[in-house]
Amino acid sequence: MKIGMFTSGYQRNPLEHCFQDARRFGYDFIELWGGRPHAYAPDLKAGEIEDVKRLIEQYEMPVLGYTPEHNAYPYNFMIGSELQRRDAVAYLKLCLDMAKELGADYMLVSPAHAGYQADYEEIWSRMEETIRELGEHAEKTEVKLVVETLTPYESNAFKSANDAAELFKRIDSPYVVGMCDLVPPYVQHESIMAYLDKLGDKMYHFHIIDGEQGTDSHIVPGEGSIPLKELFMELKEAGYQGTATLELVTGYINEPRLYARRAVSQARAYMKEAGF
């Protein structure tokens, strides 16, 4: 199982620190956050992608995943007018193009909050239409579109393994796949391991991180309440061979280098004990 660094928490640092640290600390790859000042897709298209390619080559650290900023201002394909939805789709298609140029294997999207007035029919109609459009573009770019479930604090649209399984019934594309961030199932008292059973061969990626009940905070492995040692043992026994990112996001934005080092050190210790 390859372990990646998510770069969102480094957004107040130079992007080069991410590549330096991923190499120094023993990460296998980078999941690149696509927001300013680092890797916003329109900036990449305007020429800044060459800077990222230089870092990939210099530090011999691949960008396997690209996660554009898109479920807050100004993009959220689940809310607003049809004009706004189309604008978000156009942006995410550009993101897929940039992911392809970076040599990424996958791009991550997460259906965010659809607003308090949206009913289930409206939510699913909009989500299915959008993911279908993006999936068709993913097939053209040959970049996997990984669709992530969120916590109830973040979304009323896409929150559970059942939601993910339903989406894959509606959209049958080899380029539309799923993943599990550990925090959404944990805070909803849902089984993390059920994602493997319910998604089957659509289960493509993990965000491995610790958490606490009652919050969507992403905590350094070993410092929250999720039984991560046992989880790694279960993943080993289940034969999981995909990728996993240690997604610290912005909770440690003041000292991302210190906590990125601690996170991978703790995760590697659990992996060793589990036999990875």
Looking at the annotation, which residues are catalytic? 148, 247
Distance CA 204, CA 226 (A): 21
Buried-state track 79-111, b at ≥16 Cβ within 10 A, e below 16: bbeeeebeebbebbbbbbbbbbbbebbbbbbbb
Distance CA 68, CA 77 (A): 13
Cα within 13 Å of Cα(102), Cβ side: 36
Cβ–Cβ < 8 Å for 155, 184: no
Q: Give the chain's count of helices (H) and strands (E).
A: 10, 8
Dihedral angle sign, alpha carbons of residues 42, 47, 53, 55: negative
Cβ–Cβ < 8 Å for 69, 75: yes
3 state DSSP class of 63: strand
Locate tokens 């696509």: which residue? 34
Distance CA 161, CA 190 (A): 9
Cβ contacts of residue 111 below 8 Å, gap of 6+? 71, 77, 78, 127, 130, 131, 147, 150, 155, 157, 158
